[in-house]
Amino acid sequence: MVTRPALRLGAIAALLGIVANIVLIALPLDLQTDLDWLFKLRGPRTAPDEVVIVGIDQDSADRLGLPRLPKPWPRSQHAQLVNKLTDQGASVIVFDLYFEESRNAEHDRLLAQAFRRAENAILFSQLDKRQRAEKKNSPLQLFTEQQFAPIRELAQAAAGWGPFPLPKTSATVTSFWLFKEEIDGIPTLPVVALQAYALENCGVSPALLNDAAIADTTFSKHHSKPLLALIKTLRSQIQSAPQQAQTQLRLSDIGGCKQAIADALIAMYRGDNWRYLDFYGPASSISTVSYQRALHEPLDINGKAVFVGLLDPTLETREDDSFQTAFAQGDQALFGVEIAATAFANLLENRRVWT
């Protein structure tokens, strides 16, 4: 006869086996509690080596003689960083900084020049809610969400851009959007970054696309300006003909590219417009280097995705760009650039949390 304690032990062992598997399964009773419990039970796991974060921190600001907050940093400084990352073979360079306005024409020109040279820079765009004009004296107040790209000179020089809003219904972040359907299905920053990463590393067979004009202008890193149009077209094609996409979307062997990236793209375009985040652990679980070190030391970033953003736990204003997770609470909360890099890494690995 099997005793109740034995049954409990068996159930616990089975649950541990499930949690250790490649997919986390969350119970629907209390989503936040369940996810936190399952992540802590599983523990941290190794993040993919293909993702690196360059953090703007106090040490970098002090060593470079710059303000602690990155907004007033001269863009000529970012141009130096982009050129350094390009020279060391970064596959995609993602800025989790919003270049909202022009401040110094020469510095803007230098950064745009660096973006054009890199051919793989992805920039952050801002989402904002604006009130719609209604009839006079109307009691209704309707708002629309709009995307605002970076300043024109930098947007034209970059390969693409995307927003990164997070569904934050509580103090803890659990998920991210891939596409914002209410704004014409625009892709978010991690999606744009993954498509750029795939193009840079592998190139994509244009056989999937029916539009020859798009195929002629988007499947080369030298003509990557229509990247956002490519993303919209690929998503439409894959959702309408998934079996055809599975056979036609093939990545070349350039740089040892694997079919896994094609599978990741198909899953990204075919799936829902949001996913739960599969966190790797506490802060710095993804390979991280300081901004000043990235400027002055050689880095192992050849063929990798590099995310650049604020990463300073000493800032009093950190609540504007920090997020609680199952692994990161209080002063150890993750910054936005870490969440964006985590989302990208999840997409690249084709990993997700199922409920």
The predicted-structure confidence for 147-203, as pLDDT tens digits, reads as follows: 999 999 999 999 999 999 988 666 678 899 999 999 999 999 999 999 999 988 876
The predicted-structure confidence for 237-281, as pLDDT tens digits, reads as follows: 888 877 776 666 654 444 445 678 888 998 999 999 999 999 999
C-alpha dist (Å) from residue 344 to 249, 259, 279, 293, 320: 20, 17, 11, 23, 21
Q: Are 276 and 353 in contact (CB under 8 A)?
A: yes
The predicted-structure confidence for 50-95, as pLDDT tens digits, reads as follows: 999 999 999 999 999 999 888 899 999 999 999 999 999 999 999 9
Domain segments of the chain: what residues? 4-41, 45-354
Q: Identify the CA nearest to 127 among candidates 144, 143, 148.
A: 148
Q: Which residues contact 21 (CB under 8 A, 6 or more apart)?
A: none
Reduce the secondary structure of 110-151 to three states and give it as a string: HHHHHHHHHCCEEEECEEEEEECCCCCCCCCCCEEEEEECCC
Pairwise pLDDT comparison (313 vs 103), residue with the higher score: 103
**pLDDT-derived band at 131, boundaries 50, 70, 90:** low
Pairwise pLDDT comparison (99 vs 33), residue with the higher score: 99
Token pair of 336 as six digits = 């936005």
Name the helix (H) or strand (E) containing 7. helix 4-20
C-alpha dist (Å) from residue 140 to 65, 144, 267: 51, 13, 40
